[in-house]
Each structure stands twice: as structure tokens, then as C-alpha cells.
Amino acid sequence: MFKSFTLATLLLSSFSFSTLADTFTLKSKDITAGGFMTKAQEFNGFGCDGSDLSPQLTWSGVPEGTKSFAITVYDPDAPTGSGWWHWQIINIPHTVTEIATGAGNATKGLAPKGSMQIANDFGYRGFGGACPPKGHGIHHYRFTVHALSVEKLELPEGASGALTGYMINANTIATSTIESLYKRD
């Protein structure tokens, strides 16, 4: 019994409990993991008539060394051969841990100061909501916050979603994702 107690004590003393407490976590008041989004997050255009609102997002357990954040929303099920970028916002200051509902509308000024919204696959800067083809089945929308090791991603004007994704991934320390669903019958 003494040997097993000593072994357990050694194992526990070498394990950092702060590792468990500091899990990078993404939450939302507007969307849920595995749940269906509402018309609020549906695109307004291309035959869709939703409110086109980016959801509220908040994150915690920020990893050490984080100098900025990026948020991406991607639909891997879009019938394009390369998926669909619905939103990419970069250069979010490391002090920000929440994005308000509607912050993806570039004209409303709700995005964090200093951040930059990249053109989505609908062709404009900001959030473009879900709009899968009718009858195409369930699409999976990956809302991901990226903790980045750099304060600012330097991208050329008009950078593509693929280039932006590359630069985000090249500088990511950790990510947290909420995968929500949407379909149109």
C-alpha cells in the first residue's frame, strides 16, 4: 500500500493542476455545439432570407504567450471542392475575450478596435451567414477562435481566405471550436 501511495503522490506532484484549469474554451449565447443555428445566423441573399448576424462568442482559458486572436467560420460541406469561408476576423487584441452578436457586420463598428475582417466567400468583408443549397442536407459550421503567437498578421490587401487561413494556422498556439449545424429543405 505504501508503494502505491508513494507512486500516486509522485505522479500527482509532477502534474500541473493549472493545466486542467486553463483549458481554452469557446462559448456562445447564440449557437450551440451540435445544435442547429436559427434564421438569425442565416445569410440574407442567394435565395436565403435570414438576419445574417454573427453570433456572440466568448472564450476563456487563454494560453500563455497569446498575443492576439483570430476567429474563423468555415463550412467544409459546401459543394465547392474547397468548402466555404463565412468569416475571418484577425488581429483581435489579446485583451479581448468576447465578440458581440452582429460584430461581423463591418458597417456597425462592433468588431474589436484594431481587428480586420477579411473578404468572405460571398465576396465582402465581414460575416456571411449559413446558406446551404436547398435539399443539400446538413452542413457543419465550424466557429473557431485561434490564440495567436503574433500581435498582428501582415496580409496584403485583398488576401484570400486560403492565404488568411494559412497565416492563422502558421501562428496558432491553440484553438477552440463550436461546430453548429444548418440545413435548408
pLDDT digits (tens, 9 = 90+) for 106-133: 999 999 999 999 999 999 999 999 999 9
| 135 contacts: CB under 8 Å, gap ≥ 6 | 184, 185
Whether 2 has a pLDDT exceeding 60, the answer reads no
Residue whose C-alpha cell is 451567414: 129
- 147-173 pLDDT, tens digit each: 999 999 999 989 999 999 999 999 999
What does pTM read for this prediction? Answer: 0.88
Ramachandran region, residue 91 (left: φ > 0; alpha: ψ -120 to 50; beta: rest):
left
pLDDT band, residue 20 (cuts 50/70/90): very low
Return the pLDDT at 105: 97
Residue pair 73/143 in contact by the 8 Å Cβ criterion? yes
Whole-angstrom distance, CA of residue 94 vs CA of residue 162: 23
Ramachandran region, residue 108 (left: φ > 0; alpha: ψ -120 to 50; beta: rest):
alpha
Domain 21-182 has CATH 3.40.50.300: no
Query: Where are the domains positioned within the chain?
Result: 21-182
